[in-house]
Chain A
């Protein structure tokens, strides 16, 4: 029987059913959405629907930001916050990398570290600030230590699980060539754990930002957190929102820096 004829009596086209599940992003749409929100915000204030006592207009926020930048006030607060973040984050990251690696590589460190980290990780680190202030004083050390503690745990966990998940065959391959232990750690285990370590850094960076603001709200004269708090106390909502906007930009910049690092360091994936 010729094949063509077998289909003849009832010919049906095959309907396409593979559509959807392919969302795309458009920068233009994103920008328009942003502009619409700002315009609605400005419009709502102009129309008197929102009292300017509670929310400043975007234009007022922009003007406040300009004045703050011009007077050097913005940089004074921002630089002290950045100083605390960089210091706390660096200490926390260094300690987390060390402890996480040790836990991934040595039985003793793993047996000791796992239960301790499990017990201490869930504590919101800001709750320890009063204790740290008691021990270390109200100055920089207690704030830096709070940030360091907050950064330490996610970094240690990311490093530990990153190394632990490095392919066993890669380790065996290195051993089969007689590569010494230290070189296997540096050339196989740590590079293999880098994806996990970098995503841990994404978490630890946002924790550092959160903690610096919280710590500055609890006990500091300077820093973005202290600035936002005092603006609130003085009902200077334009200053307050300007400070919050600066924090948002700071978060975005850190995220962009990490994305760039991932792109540069993990292009092999």
Chain B
């Protein structure tokens, strides 16, 4: 699914948060959004997903959906957003409950999503019994169960430790990249962006404007190879130089506020 974002302006009361943010995402492309704290990344994702009404702007998607797609635009949340009173299985099945599906189809979707995320043995567990990494796997399984065309991920790994993050990034590659799912992925972590993105949108400090859009231009599977390290280092340096000043002044602003 293709995506065209054109947010001319977004403000919360008097606080201007986004200004002239427009870009497009190609079918199957993964675009990461990086930028300093409070620059409006979550707001932008909310606008794209229809959870926040932009002050002035439009978001449009384009492209035929696969027949199994129940929820074309689907979120994965930073704090997982699991229903704590439901088991893993019932959390994954939650978004299916208001769709007319045969119970066999429903169960097949749930168990398929659980199997793909390595959760089959934990189907009966409650969220509180799982580690953070496992909880986010449930969040991902829930998103996969509705066969999304566009995934919106808001810092999906930032609540996790570094090792779990590595593992889940591998899973992302396996689960939805190359499977034709388009993704918009917000992160603070430049290495995460360089590992996953086709292109990286760099936002300025609030009000967020597009500072630059950086293409990574290395095949995703090759990026963990040693040979790619120098080119990634150059990209990382470039991204950091774009962000550093913005982040520093955003930080000072926060301290003053």
- Against B, the Cβ 8 Å flags (1 = close, 0 = not) of A153-188 are 000000000000001011011111111100100011
| Given known A-B contacts A175-B51, A179-B98, A183-B98, A268 and B77 have beta carbons under 8 A apart | no
Is residue B118 within 8 Å, beta carbon to beta carbon, of the partner chain? Answer: no
Interchain CB contact (< 8 A) of B79 among A169, A176, A187: A169
Is residue A17 within 8 Å, beta carbon to beta carbon, of the partner chain? Answer: no
Q: Across the interface, do B51 and A268 meet the contact criterion of CB distance under 8 Å?
A: no
Q: Across the interface, do B84 and A269 meet the contact criterion of CB distance under 8 Å?
A: yes
- Against A, the Cβ 8 Å flags (1 = close, 0 = not) of B147-165 are 0000000000000000000
Is residue B146 within 8 Å, beta carbon to beta carbon, of the partner chain? Answer: yes
Interchain CB contact (< 8 A) of A177 among B84, B126, B128, B146: B146
A-B contact count (CB 8 A): 52
Is residue B37 within 8 Å, beta carbon to beta carbon, of the partner chain? Answer: no
Main secondary structure of the interface of B (DSSP, over half): loop
Is residue B61 within 8 Å, beta carbon to beta carbon, of the partner chain? Answer: no
Q: Across the interface, do A170 and B83 meet the contact criterion of CB distance under 8 Å?
A: yes
Q: Across the interface, do A169 and B81 meet the contact criterion of CB distance under 8 Å?
A: yes
A47–B255 CA distance with the chains assembled, in angstroms? 74
Is residue A191 within 8 Å, beta carbon to beta carbon, of the partner chain? Answer: yes
What residues on B are CB-neighbors of A167 within 8 Å?
81
Interchain CB contact (< 8 A) of B81 among A170, A179, A183, A187: A170
Q: Across the interface, do A188 and B49 meet the contact criterion of CB distance under 8 Å?
A: no
Q: Across the interface, do B83 and A179 meet the contact criterion of CB distance under 8 Å?
A: no
Is residue B95 within 8 Å, beta carbon to beta carbon, of the partner chain? Answer: yes
CB A263 to nearest CB in B, in angstroms, measures 14
A128–B11 CA distance with the chains assembled, in angstroms? 50
A169–B128 CA distance with the chains assembled, in angstroms? 17
What residues on A are CB-neighbors of B94 within 8 Å?
174, 177, 179, 187
What residues on A are CB-neighbors of B146 within 8 Å?
177
Is residue B121 within 8 Å, beta carbon to beta carbon, of the partner chain? Answer: no
Please, could you name 17 A-B residue pairs with CB atoms under 8 Å apart, sorted by A? A169-B81, A170-B81, A172-B46, A173-B77, A174-B94, A176-B51, A176-B73, A176-B74, A176-B75, A177-B74, A177-B146, A178-B98, A187-B97, A268-B84, A268-B86, A268-B128, A269-B128
Closest 9 CB pairs of A and B: A177-B95, A173-B81, A268-B85, A176-B75, A169-B81, A268-B84, A268-B126, A191-B85, A177-B71
